[in-house]
Amino acid sequence: MKFFILMKQSIKAIFSNKGRSALTVLGIVIGIGSVIALMALGSGVQAYISNQIGALGTTTLIISNGGGMAAATSSSSAGSSSNIGAGQQNARSGAMGESASALTVSDYELLQDKTKNPDISSVVGVISGSGTYSDLRFSVTGANTAIFAINSLSVGKGSLFTDANVGNKDKVAVLGSDTATNLFGTDEPINKSILVGKDTYTVVGVLAAAKGSTFNNPNDMVYVPYTAAFVSLGTDRFSRFTVKANSDSVVDSAKTEIENTLMSSHNIKEKKLADFSVSTSADLLSTVSSITNILTSLLSGIAAISLLVGGIGIMNIMLVSVTERTREIGLRKAVGAKTKDILIQFLIEAIFLTLAGGILGIGLGWGLGAIAGHFVGFSAVLTQSAIILAVGISTAVGIVFGIYPAARAAKLNPIDALRYE
């Protein structure tokens, strides 16, 4: 019962000076709001990237030329639909850039051997390049027919190229839906001609619009048989392989099979000397999550400095309050209030102010995160742990920075306090 009486008195004291209390709370609101906004944005980034990587497929593995995870991330187009610089990179480096590739036709054939690789369902060999139509440039992916199945792509107009086209090195092309519109507008694209390198390719089909992502956008791509792409781009090496495992449960086994097959093919004895890298969706997600966690923690730490400033503001205001209420404290002690009662009352005031600031800060942080997320293209995610952390931090700030003023008030001599003018 006494505690509730002290709480009532504390709240009354806070509202008796609304302006000062509001300014005191403001520092905590800004501090908590900043931390919450950054944590919400960090969680939003992780959720967004998880969805994008998940779109590649949980059973998909990307085999890249050396370069480790960074190479896999930049080329993780699930076999090819990525248009993150694939064509642009080739346009800068030309066919010579591809000649340094370690991934050969022999590797491609070995990976298709079910005896050596029982956990592999299908393999797509990919060569990246660029093409032109009039003055327009576009990204080109040379691949085998498995690329359409592995990326769940279907034909919208015309037809897909066939295994026979691949075997005959036919110069035929299948356009993504957006590429068809960008190149030909409302004109019929079927049987039109485009250039890949210096060779003319005939458009035989247009893909139905597919769900794209940052890592995988088949709508902005042109697909051609890899055998023809080898000739047009002047190389005999693949940019990467995309492999489909039989199921989620055998992804790790498939990765091991791939590494063993390619190390044997390249006559490599130690994995650390490998001239290729194999990455799964889980590998990519783990790497990206680690990076975003570090950045979020760093930025949240910087934002937390404002919490320190807010805490110091709480302490200063509470010290002023002790000075102004010296006679009140003396009177309360004179009529029987104990030292701990005074201590608890001032602590309650400090905690109430910071807790109110924490709750308001959560709202501010969520709002700031949502606004920022709208401009950068993803949704901020306010997690339960972020809310608990905000409430916990604000309460801790109230206790830590409220102890000294509360202790100072509690230690006042009632006689001296009553004489204070």
pLDDT at 133 over 70: yes
pLDDT at 280 over 50: yes
**E runs forming strands in 246-400:** 276-280
Domain boundaries, the chain: 2-50+304-419, 67-274
Pairing of strands 221-225, 136-143: parallel
Instruction: Decide: 173 and 194 in contact? Cβ < 8 Å.
Output: yes
Inform me whether the pLDDT recorded for 215 exceeds 70: no
- CA 171 to CA 80: how far, in whole Å? 18
100 pLDDT above the threshold of 70: no
What is the predicted pLDDT for the residue at 99?
A: 39
Q: What is the pLDDT of residues 166-192, one digit of tens each?
A: 999 999 999 999 999 999 998 999 999
* H helix or E strand, kind and range, residue 125: strand 120-133
Lowest mean pLDDT among 133-137, 212-216, 241-245: 212-216
The residue to which tokens 């458009």 are assigned:
203
Considering 126-135, 161-170, 300-309, 325-334, the range whose residues carry the highest mean pLDDT is: 161-170
CA distances from 168 to 119, 131, 141, 161 (A): 30, 21, 18, 11
Residues 33, 365: contact at Cβ < 8 Å? yes
pTM for the complete prediction? 0.59
Half-sphere exposure of 297 (CA within 13 A, CB side): 6
Q: What mean pLDDT is predicted for residues 253-257? A: 89
**Average of per-residue pLDDT across 61-66:** 84
pLDDT-derived band at 331 (thresholds 50, 70, 90) equals confident
Q: How far apart are CA 37 and CA 362, in angstroms?
A: 8
Tell me, letter by letter, the H, E, C secondary structure of 152-184.
CCCEEEECCCCHHHHHCCCCEEEECHHHHHHHH
Question: What does the pLDDT read at residue 378?
Answer: 74
pLDDT above 50 for 93: no
Average pLDDT over residues 100-121: 87
pLDDT band at 230 (very low <50, low <70, confident <90, very high): very high
